[in-house]
Chains A and B, each alone.
Chain A
């Protein structure tokens, strides 16, 4: 079956604009994670969904960042009033259940804020 997909693969925007990044997890995976990877760094946790609810959003850097997963499948990461420091690769991962199990990663969305 298909793996985790993310769209768009690349997004270039101007400072101050609003962007949405989409993640389609593997079918049947209840847990979904968003991570952010800056150049030369390892990924950093942003938010984790169990089903439709955000079980842990402690990694969101500020209130400009918001994510939803209304039907427990597709998730959208929303960034308002983008700043140049938001430029990074945004990774999505899913797993069948939460906890100490393998996470399957999408290819990421490379966001560039000019």
Chain B
């Protein structure tokens, strides 16, 4: 079992829909990242959080440390949001990131 699990693996939405991507982890963490990766492109950090909720534009990220769960929400989705969204956690005493396998999001016009 992966230490970081994401769901769904694939998601297709219509433009304007509210989207939720979930991340569950089994290790103790100090921080969790949500990352965005466009096809053929590099990875961009969207959020880093260790508690509560953060909002940036149409993106909202929440984390529940007790339940070891985080969600990424996209409001009023747009085709340009189409990308792979990756959850990653800072694991234990080391500084390395442990990544989920990603969620491939396709937003159709």
Q: Does A90 contact B (CB under 8 A)?
A: no
Q: In the complex, A102→B35 CA distance in Å? A: 10
Contacts of A93 in B (CB 8 A): 43
Instruction: Tell which of B14-22, B56-64, B67-75, B88-96 binds the partner.
Output: B88-96
Q: Which residues of B are at the interface with A, using a C-beta cutoff of 8 A? A: 4, 30-31, 33, 35, 41-45, 48, 50, 86, 88, 90, 94-102
Q: Does A28 contact B (CB under 8 A)?
A: no
Q: Do A102 and B48 touch across chains, with their CB atoms under 8 A apart?
A: yes
| Band of interface residues on A | 20 to 34
A-B contacts, CB under 8 A, total: 63
- Do residues B99 and A42 form an inter-chain contact, with CB atoms below 8 A? yes
CA distance A13 to B94 in the complex (A): 33
Q: Are A100's CB and B97's CB within 8 A?
A: no
- The reply to whether B96 and A107 contact each other, CB–CB distance below 8 Å, is no
Across the interface, name the chain A residue whose C-beta is closest to B104: A40
The answer for the CA separation of A91 and B97 in the assembled complex, in Å, is 12
Comparing A15-23, A43-51, A65-73, the segment that makes contact with chain B is A43-51
| A residues less than 8 Å from B88 (CB atoms) | 42-43
Chain A residues in 8 Å Cβ range of B99: 35, 42-44
